[in-house]
């Protein structure tokens, strides 16, 4: 059901996707438990569907709930936990709270660098997210420097022809 909901969401039918995901989430909570990684993944997908409908505060709350459980169950340095930390920060950006988002992205980036390394694609994405949060605060020179650093690493790691470069 999760895959069907994601396919529906990929077509822009976010409300329908959310409904399917919430049904799936209830089943998973009952069968697998609230702390199961699959349940947490579905909770995150619900938050994404909610955010895609412009309900960013609600999405943030769902992401934060998921994040707290992930920190306990998976650990603070687990890739899924770090992804959700990024999702929280992105929901905060969508609400115009750029300084708070920058702080969240920086926390995530610090852990990613130590766990995944400076050149991991997830680390580079978070570095870019930091830069964009900085840019939205009007700190354009600082944002440019961060984005140039990120671009240089992307060129080296991914190659100049990679879509992310």
Q: DSSP string covering 69-103, please? A: HHHHHT-TTSHHHHHHHHHHHHHHHHTT-HHHHHH
Same-domain pairing of 67 and 113: no
| Burial (CB count <10 Å: 0-12, 13-18, 19+), residue 139 | middle
Q: How many angstroms separate the CA atoms of 23 and 112, rounded?
A: 33
Q: What digits encode the pLDDT tens for the residues 7-55? A: 999 999 999 999 999 999 999 999 999 999 999 999 999 999 999 999 9
Angle at 76 between CA 154 and CA 136, to 5 degrees: 50
Q: How many angstroms separate the CA atoms of 142 and 136, rounded?
A: 11
Confidence (pLDDT) at 53: 97
pLDDT band at 122 (very low <50, low <70, confident <90, very high): very high
Q: What is the pTM of this model?
A: 0.91
Residue 87 lies in a domain: no
Whether 129 has a pLDDT exceeding 90, the answer reads yes
For 81-98, what is the mean pLDDT?
97
Tokens of 56: 């960013």
Tokens of 145: 């420097």
Whether 165 has a pLDDT exceeding 90, the answer reads no
Tokens of 146: 């961060």
pLDDT band at 147 (very low <50, low <70, confident <90, very high): very high
Residue 86 lies in a domain: no
Whether 65 has a pLDDT exceeding 90, the answer reads yes
Confidence (pLDDT) at 81: 96
Q: Are 109 and 115 in contact (CB under 8 A)?
A: no
Confidence (pLDDT) at 161: 82
Same-domain pairing of 70 and 101: no
Q: How many angstroms separate the CA atoms of 124 and 118, rounded?
A: 7
How high does pLDDT run on average in the chain? 95
Residue 91 lies in a domain: no
Task: Show which of 74, 109, 136 is a domain's final residue.
Answer: 74
Q: Which domain holds residue 65?
A: 1-74
Same-domain pairing of 100 and 70: no
State the total domains in the chain.
2
């Amino acid at each position: 059901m999760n895959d069907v909901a994601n396919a529906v969401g990929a077509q822009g039918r976010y409300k329908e996707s959310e409904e399917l995901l919430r049904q799936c989430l209830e089943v998973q909570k009952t069968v697998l438990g609230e702390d199961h990684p699959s349940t947490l993944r579905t909770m995150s997908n619900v938050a994404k569907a909610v955010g895609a409908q412009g309900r960013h505060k609600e999405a943030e709350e769902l992401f934060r709930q998921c994040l707290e459980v992930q920190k306990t169950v998976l650990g603070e340095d687990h890739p899924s936990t770090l992804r959700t930390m990024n999702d929280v920060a992105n929901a905060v950006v969508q609400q115009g709270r750029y300084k708070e988002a920058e702080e969240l992205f920086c926390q995530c980036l610090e852990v990613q660098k130590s766990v995944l390394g400076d050149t991991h694609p997830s680390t580079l994405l978070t570095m870019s997210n930091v830069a964009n949060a900085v840019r939205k605060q009007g700190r354009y020179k600082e944002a440019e420097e961060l984005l140039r650093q990120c671009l240089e690493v992307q060129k080296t790691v991914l190659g100049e022809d990679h879509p992310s470069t």
